[in-house]
Amino acid sequence: MSARSTKSAPSLVRFERIGSMLARIVDNAAVGMLVSDMEGRLVYSNRALRDMLGLGTDAEPDIGILDLVHDADKATAPLRLQRLIRGEADEYRGECRLRHADGHPLWVMVAASVLHSDQTHTAQYLVVQVTNIELQKKAEEALAYSENRWNFALESARQGVWDHDIRTDTMFYSRMWRIMRGLAPDLPVPAAHQAEWLSRLHPDDVDHVLANVDRQDNGDEDFDALEYRERKPDGSYVWILSRGKPIEWDSDGKPVRTLGTDTDITRLKTIELELAAEKERLRVTLDSIADGMISTDENGRVVFMNPAAEFLTGYSGQQVLGREVRDIFALRDGVTGEKQQCPVATCLATDERAHLDDDMILVAQTGVERDIRCTASPVKMPGGKLAGAVLVFQDVSQSRAMQRQLAHSATHDELTGLPNRAAFDRALNGAIAAARDNQRPHCLLYIDLDRFKSVNDTAGHAAGDALLCQIAETIRGSCRSHDLAARIGGDEFAVLLQDCPGNSGKLVADKIVRAIGALIFGWAGRNYRIGASVGMTTIDAKPASPLGFMGEADAACYAAKARGRGRAVMFKDI
């Protein structure tokens, strides 16, 4: 930019007379300079300004100082310069954007002042110093962007910032610090800021905060954070997690300024309290149930066991924590006595439920044995990954004892304890089938008591029952250990002699007759003697008559009675 072409103008003539060393210094200065008359027409610009705005060195067309202002600032900057031109002010300093030769805006710092005449003190020129602040503006914009980004991040995380100057006991609170407490964003910080803050704390949290707030100010390395409840204006409470530490120290190393953040953790604390309550309910439930429960990790190591499991295994939970469950859950087969694999191992290996129910015995640490029923179920994470197993087991000793008792009652005579008619018929059918298959004979004895009715009639049914018990013991004692003796009627008994030919069977039958005949039964001061008649038949491939084996033994028994009682008769001999 050069001086205007109207060189006859008095102001320009006066300006051109400046051709001094000072003028040359100004023209070569690093700071942009321009001069205009009081009508705003440019009369001079130095090299730095021309370079700054990308203007050429040739004479420029008629241009005014206001024409250099970029359109983005046309609404503000010209107004301030016009006040100088109109003589309403003598100086102006501020920032604006000028228009570069290529059209883009350029941020500059403008310092303008009015040059007065020495004689008349009238305003003659407007002298403007222009400094390029483009880099500074970009740095400010970057800083503002960074600050906005961090403020947005902190507010999105509902984190408020506080800054405590310990030297002056002044406190700064950020906008979010106030919002999370339900306070107005522009609420001023009171002089007694700590007392006002403490007055809002939940009564149950005051002692804890007072005991630890100085640790935060002093940067105690063993102190992590403060958790407390603070009352909002509506009376509700917000849970606060406060973290902070010193950032400035005096010459003695004593903290003089502490900076920190507060986070609204109300939702997390609510969930935490709900989980704690749920955990307590679960603990009480597990402690109350009678079933034993052992929880393991994916390697089968114990992580929890309830009191029922402690009682049934004989181990305490703390004692077995981390041990393999197979070491404390010792099983054996109730029939064979063989050691059984822990169902947890099966469950973890197959990723499926493992169930044991039949004749399983749990051997406790104390050696106590219990009938149990147990199930091991896999525990999986939400993604399906196996995380461990839960073993649930019940003591079924009482129910199984009852089952065994019921099963015994179904197959045995309640009075004598001998197998009953149904059990004997099943055994007889098995013996008949075996004789048919392997051609090995058995003997069948049918026993009917002699003179039993007279004892029952004279001494009563209680005496008769006691006598039947003695007869049962006598018959059982006269047989071999593998023979089957049964009560099949009121005073009728039967014996199945396994793998016994006829002549050997006759010896057993005679032994039974003699034993019963020698029995002296005493009741109410009176002695009774009875006898027995026995019918025999041999069980082989098929019966000797259409009567069947039981019919043949019954017929032989009638023959023994007909022949004078107190004897054993073979069917083939009648």
Which sequence positions are flagged as catalytic? Answer: 491
Q: Counting Cβ atoms within 10 Å, is residue 569 exposed (0-12), middle (13-18) or buried (19+)? A: buried
C-alpha dist (Å) from residue 31 to 37, 53, 58, 93, 184 = 20, 12, 20, 15, 47
Tell me if 512 sits within 8 A of 475, measured CB to CB: yes
**Where would I find the H helices in 39-91?**
47-53, 77-85
3-state secondary structure (DSSP) of residue 438: helix
> Which amino acid is residue 73, in one-letter code?
D
**Where would I find the H helices in 439-529?**
452-459, 461-478, 502-518
Residue 38 — φ and ψ, nearest 5°? -75, 0
3-state secondary structure (DSSP) of residue 167: coil
For residue 296, what are the contacts with CB-CB under 8 A and spacing of at least 6?
302, 303, 325, 344, 348, 388, 389, 390, 391
d(CA 432, CA 540): 7
d(CA 434, CA 431): 5
**Straight-line distance from the first to the last Cα atom of the chain, in angstroms, rounded to the nearest whole number:** 158
